[in-house]
Homo-oligomer: A and B are copies of this chain.
Amino acid sequence: MSPLPEGAKRSPCPIATALDLVGDKWTLLVMRDLFVGKSKFGEFEDSPEGIPTNILAERLKRLEAGGMIERQPYQERPVRHAYALTKKGRGFLPVLQTMSQWGNDFVSGTWVPPAFFMEMKV
C-alpha cells in the first residue's frame, strides 16, 4: 500500500482517517462543547456525560496534535489554557449536525439542540 495520508493509521479512506483521530465515544463530545461555546478544561468536565479527567486531558492533546484545536494561555501562575477549534476542527461541524439529526430522528427522547447549533455554518 502506498504511504498513508498524514494522520491516517489504517487506510487512505477519508472515513477511516477521520476515525483514526476522533473514533471514540468522547472526542466528539469535546468538539460539541467547543462548538456551543465552551473553551476551558473545567467546562468540558462539567458536561453531563462526566468525561473522566485523564481521558479529557488525553483527548485534548490528541485533538491539538491532529490540528483540530489550538490552545492559548488565559491565566498565569498557574498557567491555564483555553481551547478553540481550528479551521480543520470547525470543518467537522456537519458531522456533528448530521449525527445530532440522526439522534433526533431515530431515538425518541433525545434533546433537540438549540437552533443556532443546527443552523451554524462552517
The residues of A with any CB-CB pair to B shorter than 8 Å are 1, 3-8, 10-20, 23-26, 28-29, 32, 47-50, 88, 91-92, 94-113
How many copies are assembled?
A: 2
Contact A17:B49 (CB < 8 A) given known A28-B23, A95-B95: no
Q: In whole angstroms, how far apart are the Cα atoms of A105 and B101 in the complex?
A: 22
Contact A25:B29 (CB < 8 A) given known A102-B95, A107-B6: no
Q: In whole angstroms, how far apart are the Cα atoms of A98 and B22 in the complex?
A: 14
* Additional pairs, 5, CB under 8 Å, beyond known A5-B110, A15-B96: A12-B110, A13-B32, A14-B112, A20-B25, A23-B24
Structural contact, B14 and A102, CB atoms closer than 8 A: yes
